[in-house]
Structure 1
Amino acid sequence: MLILKLTNITKEYNSRVILNDINLSCKNCEMIAIKGKSGVGKSTLLNIMAGLERATSGEYYYNEILMNDKSINSLSKFRQANVGYISQHSPMIPELTVLENICVPVWFEKDEEKKKEYMQQIESLSMLFEINNLLDKKINALSGGEIQRAGIIRSILKKPQLIIADEPTAALDDETALMILTHFNFLKSEGAIIIVVTHNDIVSKHCDKTYQLSKEGLLLIS
């Protein structure tokens, strides 16, 4: 079953074409990589799929629901319920500890059982990603790679169906990147769709499909 489908997506800023006639479909249990030179619109494409930006033309369907005409409030609810967004530089609140930053997505969770489940998830993932001894530290005490791992945990904490990742391993060494990719494959096996923008061949080799984005469009290359 196709979960995410882009048809003839175009994005323009001030008459400048950023994305041109993009077509893409993804289903459950699939991880895809998107490559491309700087400035071809990779982050813009991710933002459209995450509901952070609107396409100028074309259609975006998620679970057979047309997303183009959704209100800002509806798109926000869509992200909260379905999307885990891993940015290239995970934004953090410097006044808070690592644990407090990771907990941001569940600040307003009222279900106590879910809260316990999320805390168990944090404990498990922080041990897996080897930052369990840093949870009580302030963010400014961490390295870039440690902050990136904390950001990844925050983004996947609620087990989203759609994981959007913009260069998720850019700040990581190869060993840690492989650890993250192994967990991504586990999440994929659990039913997630994972879309990764990357320049790293190690990442693309772990994906089911790799696409090349250019000014001409999106081309399947492997």
Structure 2
Amino acid sequence: MSTVLVLKDIKKEFHGATIFENIHLSILTSQMIAIKGKSGIGKSTLLNIIAGLERPSSGTYFLGDIKMETKNLNQLSEIRKKKIGYISQHSPMIPGLSAFENICVPLWFEKNMNIKNKAMKEITELSRVFEVDHLLHKRIEKLSGGETQRIGIIRSLIHHPEVVVADEPTAALDEETASKVLDYFKKLKSKGIAIILATHSSFVAEHCDETYLLTKNELSHVNTSEKDRKVGMNK
């Protein structure tokens, strides 16, 4: 395994207030980690930085050999398109379009037909895995929250990202469906993909290789015995 992502001394401020600072993190290929923390502490903001949707106020972020904090928003968008699968908490969709059409949004400006054809095969496979193949023709607003979340997950994976960044990816799912999503993430991990999950769920954290706790002043590793104890308390 090799290092795919490194955060060094990341700090984020908003309107002069510090959201978090002293954030250090190193992630390997084929590793799945959970980031936990109380509501409002900045988990989504940290994931947005990792996904290239926001820039840190200070610090260094390497994605492979790319120094992310030096890139402008257009460059970050291109990097995200090629290397990062981002699953947002609420999976924003375009109303009036079908579930299938919403999945295909990342392909709208793709001119390479080989890439498009591979993506179509991936959509077919993932739709079956996540049991939404019978819903692809439906308008997105007709789907439930859990169904929409699964459509968002599929959309983020069709271009075979090197890193998957997921913000509460199972929040709207029942435990059985959440288990299927996590099992698929493990398959991705076995193929060398790194996966970062923000979650409140101990059930999700149990499936990860490492768990980290985000506070305003640091991102601290939760060791195995402490993790097991916390999971036991929250079951």
| TM-score, normalised with respect to structure 2 | 0.92
Letter in 1 for 2:53: L
Give 1:142's aligned residue: 143
Please tell me whether residue 206 in structure 1 is matched to residue 212 in structure 2: no
The Cα of 1:108 is off from its aligned counterpart by 1.5
Give the Cα separation in 1 of the matches to 2:67 and 2:103.
31
Give unpaired runs (5+ residues) of structure 1.
none
Give the Cα separation in 2 of the matches to 1:74 and 1:141.
35
The Cα of 1:64 is off from its aligned counterpart by 2.4
Between the aligned residues of both structures, percent identity stands at 53
Residues 64-143 of structure 1 aligned to structure 2 (within 5 Å):
64-143=65-144
Any idea what SS the aligned residue of 2:181 has?
helix
Any idea what SS the aligned residue of 1:68 has?
helix
> Alpha-carbon deviations, 1:122-159, whole Å to 9, x = none?
11110111111111000111110000000000001111
> Alpha-carbon deviations, 1:163-202, whole Å to 9, x = none?
1000000000000000000000001111111000001111
Residues 177-188 of structure 1 aligned to structure 2 (within 5 Å):
177-188=178-189
Give 1:9's aligned residue: 10
Any idea what SS the aligned residue of 2:69 has?
coil
Figure out how many residues of one structure are paired with residues of the other and give that number. 222
Root-mean-square deviation (CA, aligned residues, Å) is: 0.9
Give the Cα separation in 1 of the matches to 2:62 and 2:115.
29
- 4+ runs deviating over 4 angstroms: none
The Cα of 1:71 is off from its aligned counterpart by 1.7
Letter in 1 for 2:161: P
The Cα of 1:3 is off from its aligned counterpart by 1.2
Give 1:189's aligned residue: 190
Give 1:43's aligned residue: 44
Give the Cα separation in 1 of the matches to 2:84 and 2:184.
17
| TM-score, normalised with respect to structure 1 | 0.98
Letter in 1 for 2:124: E
Give unpaired runs (5+ residues) of structure 2.
224-235
Letter in 1 for 2:137: D
Any idea what SS the aligned residue of 1:32 has?
strand
The Cα of 1:65 is off from its aligned counterpart by 2.3
> Alpha-carbon deviations, 1:9-63, whole Å to 9, x = none?
1111122110111000001100000000011111110111111111111111111
